[in-house]
C-alpha cells in the first residue's frame, strides 16, 4: 500500500534525468533542499512538506501523528486495487540498504574489558584457539585436503612436518613479564591473519567448519573424519581476551599450507604465505600491523601468541598460577599441554568414553580430581542422553558429606563443560539445590552459551536438561534401593536422607518420586528398624485410607505419648518422625499414592469401633491398679458437657473449644489440631537469631482440648469446681499445660513452676493435717489407756494382797 502511495513520486523520481537519481537525492538531503526541487514535483501546499508541517503543527497535531493518519488513509485507499499495487511494485524507488557501523576501538574495548567476569579466563580462550588450530590440521590431514607447500622447519618425515606432534606449549617468563602460548597446528597466512585477527567477532573456526561442510556436501561423499566434535570456538572474540591482561600482543604464525578447493589430494608450489613466518602486532587500541617475522626468531609450523603482561598483572607469568588456571579450565583439552616443559593435562575426559569401558581405577582417580576428596565414591552414575539435547554426564556420590558437625553449607558439586572446556565451575543451574552432594561433570556440545562462554544462554533448555539429569539421579537411587537395600539404608540413606527430605520441600516436580526413597520408624518395628512408605502401604488393612504419623523427639517419648493410646493396641501402624525436617516433609508432601498423610494429633483421627473394643478389652489388664485407670466413677454425658463448658470458661484465653473423646485411656486430656511443635520451635529460634525476643512475637493460639470423661482427674476436678473452685481452676490450668507438653507446644516449662509449687503445697498441707489428726488420736488413746491403768492399779494391789494373804494362810494351815 505504501508503494502505491509513492508511485506518483516514483515516476517523477525516475524521469528526472541527468545523472544518478540516488546521488542527487542524497546530495539534496545533505544540503537541506526539498525532494520536489530535484525531481520536478510542484512546490504547492500538496507537496511542500515544510508548509504542511507548519500548518499541521499550528493546529496542535504532531507531525508523526499526521503521517500515521495519512499513511493509514492512503493505505486503505490503495488496498482496493491489487493491480495498482502490482504496478507500484515495479515503479517503487530503490531502497537504500546500508550496513551498521561500529566504532572499532570502542568495540574492542568492550570485548576486552566488559565481556568476561574473571581475567584468568584469557588463558582458557587462547588454549581453546590453539586446540582448534590443532584440530583443523588433524582434520585436513585425515581427509587429504591439505596442499602443503611448506618444507622449511618441517621434519623429514613429511612435507608439512607430519611427525611434529600435535601439542600446545606454554612458556612463562617472569623476568620479561610475558606468557607465550604455542601450538603446532595449521597456522595462518597473511590473508588469514587479516581476516581472523583483524575482524572482531569473526570466528575462523566456525568459518572453517562451514567451509568443510560445504565441500563435503558438494562432493556428496561421506566424511572420513568426524570433524566438528573437537572444535571449540564459535564467536570470534576469545582471542581479544588477551588484551585484558597485556599491553601488547604478538601473534607469530607459519601456515602448514593451503587447503584444496575441491578436496583432491596433491601439493602445490609454496608461496610466501606458506614459506614465510609472519607476525601480527597490536596494543589493543584499534590498530594492528602485519610484517615478516625476524629471522632471529624461530617459528615452526603453527602459531605462537606472546602476551606482554601489564605490570599489575604479573601473577600470570608465575608458573604455579598458570598451572592452576590450566587445570581448572583446560585440563581435558584433547591435545597435550606442556607448561615450561612439564605435561599439565594428565587426566582423560572419561565422561566422553563409553561407560562400560571405564574401570574402577579411572573412576577413583577422576572422582578425587573433581571432588577434591580422598575417599572412594559410594556410587557412580555414568550415562548419555540425546534429548532434550546431547548430554554426557558423570556423577559420583561421596561416602560422606561435609555439612554435618556444624560445617558450612556445601557449594554445588557439578561443573558444566562444553567440548571438554570448562564453562561454569560448580554450576547452580545444572541440578537442584538438594543435589549439591553429587560431584561430577556435565558436557553438552549443543547447549547454547553466552558470548563469554561463562554461562548457558537458553534458560528454558537448561531447565529441561536439569529435569532430565534430576530424573536420572532419582532413578539411580531407586535402583540402588531395590537391588542393594541394606547398603542403601545403612550407607546412603543414613548419610544423605536429609538431602532427599530437603528435595521434597523444595523440588515440587520430584516430590512423589523422592517420597518413595524415604524410610521411617514405626511402633510395630524394633528400634532402628526402617520401613519405606511403599512397605507401610502394603501392610495397611484394606479399610485404612490414610497414613498416620506422629512427631516426637525420640522413639521412647513417641511410645509414651497420649496420642498413641488409641493406636497401641490396634492394627493401625504409626510412623514416627523425630526431626523438624520430617515435619516439613509431611506438611509439604500431604499425600502418597492417593492416601492422605495425617498426624495422629488431629481431631479427625477416628479409629473404627471394632478396633476400639478390642483395644479396651486388651487394655483392661494393663490398666488394673493404675492410679489413672478409667475404672471407677466417670462423668455422665450431661456432666461431661457441663465440665467442657466450665473448662472453656475457666481458661478463656487459652482454650477455643472443649469436647469429650473416646480415644484416651490413661491420659486425662489432649490438645488437637494444633500447630507443629517442631515448626514453632524452629520459627522461634530464627526469630531469636534475628534479634527478636524468645518470649514475644509468637503467642500461642487458643487450643482445642479433648478430655477423657472416665479419668479420675477429670472426675475429681468436676467435683472440686463446686466445693473448692480455686483449686479446681489451678488443676485445670495444669491439665492444659500437661497437654501442651505432650504436644511439644509449651515454649518454656518454667512457667509451670509456681503452679506446681502451689499444688505440692496443697498436697503437703493436706498430708500434714491428716497426719496431725492421726497423731492426736494416738495421743488421746494413750492418755486414755494410762488413765485406765491408773484407775485399775488399787484394785490390782488389793487383789495381789488378798492373793498373798490367802497364800500365807494356806502355808500356815499346811
CB 231 within 8 A of CB 205: yes
Give the torsion sign (CA, 741, 747, 753, 755): negative
Supply the DSSP symbol for 651: S
pLDDT > 60? residue 743: yes
Respond yes or no on whether the N-terminal peptide bond of residue 388 is cis (omega within 30° of 0). Answer: yes
Measuring CA to CA, how many Å separate 436 from each of 403, 409, 474, 476, 528? Answer: 11, 9, 14, 16, 27
Tell me the mean pLDDT in the region 166-178: 96
Distance CA 363, CA 377 (A): 9
pLDDT band at 72 (very low <50, low <70, confident <90, very high): low
Burial of 52 per CB tally in 10 Å (0-12, 13-18, 19+): middle
CB 159 within 8 A of CB 270: no
Tell me the mean pLDDT in the region 791-813: 62
- When mean pLDDT is compared across 209-218, 225-234, 345-354, 427-436, the lowest value belongs to 225-234
Any bridge partners for residue 151, and if so which?
none
CB 392 within 8 A of CB 447: no
Strand (E) or helix (H) holding 309: strand 302-309
Tell me the mean pLDDT in the region 428-451: 88
pLDDT > 50? residue 41: no
Residue-wise pLDDT for 487-527, tens only, equals 999 999 999 999 999 999 999 999 999 999 999 999 998 88
Half-sphere exposure of 659 (CA within 13 A, CB side): 9
Tell me the mean pLDDT in the region 59-63: 47
pLDDT band at 690 (very low <50, low <70, confident <90, very high): low
pLDDT at residue 45, as a whole number: 40
Distance CA 598, CA 686 (A): 27
Tell me the mean pLDDT in the region 691-700: 60
pLDDT at residue 212, as a whole number: 54
pLDDT at residue 10, as a whole number: 43
Q: How many other CB atoms are found less than 10 A from the CB of residue 285?
A: 11
C-alpha cell belonging to residue 452: 563469554
Tell me the three state secondary structure of residue 384: strand
pLDDT > 90? residue 758: no
How far apart, in Å, do the first and last CA atoms of the chain sit?
Answer: 174
pLDDT > 90? residue 25: no
Per cent of the chain over pLDDT 90 is: 39
Distance CA 547, CA 572 (A): 9
Any bridge partners for residue 396, and if so which?
380, 439
**Which is more confident, 25 or 432?**
432
pLDDT > 50? residue 624: no
Distance CA 760, CA 474 (A): 58
**Which is more confident, 210 or 95?**
95
Measuring CA to CA, how many Å separate 621 from each of 190, 616, 618, 625, 629? Answer: 103, 10, 7, 9, 11
Measuring CA to CA, how many Å separate 654 from each of 271, 392, 631, 667, 702? Answer: 99, 60, 30, 20, 5
Per cent of the chain over pLDDT 70 is: 66
Tell me the mean pLDDT in the region 772-794: 60
Half-sphere exposure of 774 (CA within 13 A, CB side): 6
Residue-wise pLDDT for 457-473, tens only, equals 778 888 889 999 999 99
Tell me the three state secondary structure of residue 591: strand
pLDDT at residue 692, as a whole number: 55
Tell me the mean pLDDT in the region 401-417: 87
pLDDT at residue 707, as a whole number: 93
**Which is more confident, 379 or 790?**
379
Residue-wise pLDDT for 256-273, tens only, equals 877 655 544 344 333 344
pLDDT > 80? residue 533: yes
Residue-wise pLDDT for 288-311, tens only, equals 899 999 989 888 899 999 999 999
Sheet-wide strand order for 439-443: 379-385, 391-397, 439-443, 414-418, 421-424
Distance CA 576, CA 506 (A): 22
Distance CA 430, CA 426 (A): 9
pLDDT at residue 65, as a whole number: 52
C-alpha cell belonging to residue 265: 589430494
Distance CA 675, CA 698 (A): 12
- When mean pLDDT is compared across 435-439, 489-493, 698-702, the lowest value belongs to 698-702
The closest alpha carbon to 647, from 605, 702, 566, 602, belongs to 702
Strand (E) or helix (H) holding 207: helix 204-219
Strand (E) or helix (H) holding 443: strand 439-443
- When mean pLDDT is compared across 198-207, 328-337, 351-360, 729-738, the lowest value belongs to 198-207
pLDDT at residue 791, as a whole number: 62
Distance CA 334, CA 336 (A): 7
Residue-wise pLDDT for 568-592, tens only, equals 777 789 999 998 889 889 989 999 9
The closest alpha carbon to 278, from 295, 260, 261, 257, belongs to 295
Give the torsion sign (CA, 74, 75, 80, 86): positive
pLDDT band at 286 (very low <50, low <70, confident <90, very high): confident
pLDDT > 80? residue 252: yes
The closest alpha carbon to 477, from 493, 466, 463, 495, belongs to 493
Burial of 359 per CB tally in 10 Å (0-12, 13-18, 19+): exposed
Distance CA 601, CA 257 (A): 83
Amino acid at each position: 500500500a505504501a508503494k502505491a502511495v509513492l508511485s506518483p513520486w516514483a515516476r517523477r523520481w525516475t524521469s528526472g534525468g541527468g545523472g544518478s537519481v540516488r546521488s542527487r537525492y542524497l546530495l539534496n538531503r545533505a544540503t537541506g533542499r526539498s525532494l520536489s526541487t530535484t525531481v520536478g514535483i510542484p512546490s504547492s501546499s500538496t507537496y511542500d512538506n515544510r508548509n504542511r508541517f507548519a500548518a499541521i503543527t499550528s493546529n496542535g497535531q504532531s507531525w508523526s501523528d499526521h503521517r500515521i493518519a495519512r499513511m493509514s488513509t492512503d493505505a486503505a485507499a490503495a488496498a482496493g486495487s491489487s493491480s495498482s499495487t502490482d504496478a507500484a511494485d515495479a515503479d517503487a524507488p530503490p531502497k537504500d540498504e546500508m550496513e551498521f557501523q561500529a566504532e572499532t576501538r570502542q568495540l574492542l574495548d568492550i570485548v576486552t574489558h566488559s565481556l568476561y567476569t574473571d581475567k584468568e579466563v584469557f588463558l582458557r580462550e587462547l588454549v581453546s584457539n590453539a586446540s582448534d588450530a590443532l584440530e583443523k590440521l588433524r582434520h585436513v590431514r585425515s581427509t587429504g585436503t591439505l596442499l602443503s607447500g611448506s618444507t622449511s622447519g618441517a621434519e623429514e618425515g613429511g612435507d608439512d612436518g607430519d611427525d611434529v606432534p600435535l601439542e600446545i606449549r606454554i612458556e612463562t617468563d617472569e623476568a620479561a613479564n610475558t606468557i607465550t602460548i604455542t601450538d603446532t597446528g595449521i597456522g595462518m597466512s597473511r590473508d588469514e591473519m587479516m581476516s581472523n585477527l583483524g575482524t572482531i567477532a569473526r570466528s575462523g573456526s566456525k568459518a572453517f567448519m562451514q567451509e568443510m561442510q560445504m565441500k563435503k556436501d558438494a562432493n556428496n561423499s561421506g566424511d572420513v573424519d568426524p570433524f566438528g566434535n573437537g572444535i571449540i570456538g564459535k564467536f570470534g572474540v576469545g582471542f581479544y581476551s588477551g588484551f585484558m591482561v597485556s599491553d601488547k600482543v604478538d601473534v607469530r604464525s607459519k601456515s602448514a599450507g593451503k587447503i584444496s578447493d575441491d578436496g583432491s589430494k596433491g601439493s602445490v608450489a609454496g608461496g610466501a604465505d606458506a614459506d614465510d613466518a609472519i607476525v601480527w602486532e597490536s596494543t589493543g587500541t584499534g590498530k594492528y600491523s602485519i610484517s615478516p617475522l625476524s629471522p632471529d626468531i624461530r617459528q615452526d609450523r603453527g602459531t605462537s601468541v606472546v602476551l606482554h603482561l601489564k605490570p599489575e598483572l604479573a601473577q600470570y607469568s608465575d608458573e604455579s598460577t598458570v598451572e592452576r588456571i590450566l587445570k581448572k579450565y583446560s585440563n581435558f583439552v584433547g591435545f597435550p599441554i606442556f607448561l615450561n616443559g612439564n605435561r599439565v593435562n594428565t587426566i582423560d575426559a572419561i565422561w566422553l568414553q563409553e561407560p562400560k569401558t571405564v574401570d574402577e581405577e579411572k573412576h577413583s582417580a577422576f572422582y578425587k580430581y573433581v571432588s577434591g576428596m580422598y575417599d572412594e565414591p559410594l556410587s557412580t552414575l555414568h550415562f548419555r542422553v540425546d534429548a532434550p539435547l546431547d548430554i554426557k554426564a558423570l556423577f559420583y556420590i561421596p561416602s560422606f558429606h561435609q555439612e554435618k558437625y556444624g560445617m558450612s553449607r556445601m557449594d554445588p558439586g557439578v561443573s558444566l563443560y562444553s567440548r571438554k572446556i570448562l564453562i561454569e565451575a560448580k554450576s547452580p543451574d545444572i541440578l537442584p539445590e538438594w543435589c549439591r552432594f553429587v560431584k561430577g561433570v556435565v558436557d553438552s556440545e549443543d547447549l547454547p552459551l553466552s558470548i563469554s562462554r561463562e554461562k548457558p544462554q537458553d534458560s528454558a533448555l537448561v531447565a529441561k536438561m536439569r529435569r532430565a539429569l534430576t530424573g536420572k539421579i532419582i532413578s539411580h537411587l531407586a535402583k540402588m534401593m531395590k537391588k542393594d537395600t541394606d547398603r542403601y539404608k545403612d550407607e546412603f540413606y543414613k548419610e544423605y536422607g536429609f538431602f532427599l527430605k530437603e528435595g521434597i520441600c523444595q523440588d515440587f516436580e520430584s516430590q512423589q518420586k523422592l517420597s518413595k526413597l524415604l524410610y521411617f520408624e514405626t511402633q510395630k518395628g524394633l528400634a532402628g528398624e526402617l520401613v519405606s512408605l511403599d512397605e507401610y502401604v502394603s501392610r495397611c488393612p484394606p479399610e485404612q485410607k490414610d497414613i498416620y504419623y506422629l512427631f516426637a523427639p525420640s522413639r521412647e517419648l513417641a511410645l509414651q505419648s497420649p496420642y498413641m493410646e488409641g493406636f497401641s493396641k490396634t492394627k493401625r501402624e504409626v510412623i514416627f518422625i523425630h526431626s523438624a525436617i520430617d515435619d516439613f516433609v509431611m506438611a509439604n508432601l500431604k499425600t502418597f499414592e492417593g492416601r492422605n498423610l495425617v498426624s495422629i494429633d488431629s481431631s479427625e483421627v477416628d479409629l473404627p469401633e471394632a478396633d476400639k473394643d478390642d483395644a479396651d478389652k486388651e487394655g483392661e489388664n494393663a490398666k488394673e491398679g493404675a492410679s489413672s485407670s478409667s475404672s471407677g466413677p466417670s462423668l455422665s454425658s450431661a456432666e461431661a458437657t457441663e465440665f467442657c463448658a466450665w473448662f472453656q470458661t475457666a481458661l478463656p484465653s487459652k482454650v477455643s473449644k472443649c469436647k469429650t473423646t473416646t480415644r484416651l485411656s490413661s491420659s486425662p486430656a489432649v490438645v488437637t489440631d494444633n500447630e507443629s511443635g517442631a515448626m514453632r520451635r524452629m520459627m522461634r529460634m530464627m526469630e531469636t537469631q534475628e534479634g527478636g525476643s524468645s518470649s514475644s512475637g509468637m503467642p500461642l493460639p487458643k487450643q482445642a482440648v479433648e478430655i477423657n470423661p472416665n479419668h479420675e482427674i477429670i472426675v475429681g476436678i468436676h467435683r472440686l469446681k463446686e466445693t473448692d473452685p480455686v483449686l479446681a481452676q489451678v488443676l485445670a490450668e495444669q491439665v492444659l499445660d500437661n497437654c501442651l507438653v505432650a504436644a511439644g507446644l509449651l515454649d518454656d516449662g518454667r512457667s509451670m513452676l509456681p503452679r506446681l509449687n502451689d499444688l505440692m503445697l496443697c498436697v503437703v498441707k493436706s498430708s500434714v493435717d491428716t497426719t496431725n489428726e492421726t497423731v492426736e488420736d494416738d495421743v488421746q488413746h494413750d492418755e486414755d489407756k494410762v488413765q485406765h491403768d491408773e484407775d485399775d492399779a488399787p484394785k490390782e494391789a488389793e487383789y495381789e494382797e488378798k492373793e498373798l494373804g490367802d497364800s500365807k494362810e494356806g502355808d500356815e494351815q499346811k
